[in-house]
Amino acid sequence: MASRDWYRSFADKKYLISTSRTLLSHDFIQTAFEDAAMYWAKAMSPSSLRLMLDNSCTLGLYIQDKREDSESGPAFTQIGIARIITDYVTFAYLTDVYIQADCRDLGLGKWLIACCKEMVEDMPELRRVLLLTGSEQAKRFYKEQLGMNVVEQCADGLVVMSGRKADLQAVGRKEKTSDPV
């Protein structure tokens, strides 16, 4: 499947979100999985990580490096991730949403989720998007950004949130997420 790219500038810095597997930094993902903020994940063997990424639609968030590499175009450093486990037609499970601490509160998380929303809204026979989360803040975030609703409270304190295509489409007017840099 062809990869999708979205570009945006915030405060003089240029950012890229891409579904390209070749751009993903395995070192960044392993470090993120070890971060206490990603309490549900842990680092894994390189072969397991590759298998996981080969079987997921992973959106990498990147910041453009100041130094331009004239031969191969601009260079980007990964600063975030969101992973969609999906058949690309009927079902999507959203997980591993993370932005490194020094890049938070800039609006990048909402943009990352808006790109995930575009990906799942484009699935031709989408039945449901699901995710698991914990905090009240996260529940609010996914309700506001994706139109997801809590459908089950788990014994471990997590909740299952679910959304149908109509729930996603009801969230505001689609933001323009693909402006070129």
Ligand X SMILES: CC(C)(COP(=O)(O)OP(=O)(O)OC[C@H]1O[C@@H](n2cnc3c(N)ncnc32)[C@H](O)[C@@H]1OP(=O)(O)O)[C@@H](O)C(=O)NCCC(=O)NCCS
Range 32-51, binding ligand X (CB under 6 A): 37-38
Least distance to ligand X from the beta carbon of 40, Å?
8
Out of 27, 69, 105, 179, name the contact with ligand X by CB under 6 A: 105
Picking from 80, 34, 27, the residue whose alpha carbon sits closest to that of residue 50 is: 27
Strands 128-133 and 91-99, sheet pairing: parallel
Q: How far is the CB of 8 from ligand X (least distance, A)?
A: 12
- CB count within 10 Å of CB 181 equals 10
Tell me the angle at which helices 108-121 and 136-146 cross, rounded to the nearest 10 degrees: 50
Told to check if 172 binds ligand X by CB under 6 A, we report: no
* Cα dihedral 156, 32, 64, 47 in deg (nearest 10): -110
Of the two residues 10 and 90, which places its CB atom closer to ligand X in the complex? 10
Would you say 1 or 144 has its CB closer to ligand X?
144
Q: How big is the site for ligand X, counted in residues (CB under 6 A)?
A: 17
Q: List the interface residues with ligand X, window 76-95 (CB under 6 A).
A: none
Taking the complex as a whole, how short is the minimal distance between the CB of residue 16 and ligand X, in angstroms?
Answer: 15
The Cα–Cα gap between 147 and 100 comes to 25
Among positions 16, 92, 99, 116, the unique one binding ligand X when judged by CB under 6 A? 99
Nearer to ligand X, 104 or 164 (CB): 104
Site for ligand X in 124-163 (CB under 6 A): 133, 135, 137-138, 141
| Residue in this structure with the two tokens 């601490």, named with its chain if needed | 101
Beta strand extents in 11-102 (DSSP E only): 13-18, 57-69, 73-86, 91-99
Task: Give the interface with ligand X as residue ranges (CB under 6 A).
Answer: 37-38, 97-99, 104-110, 133, 135, 137-138, 141
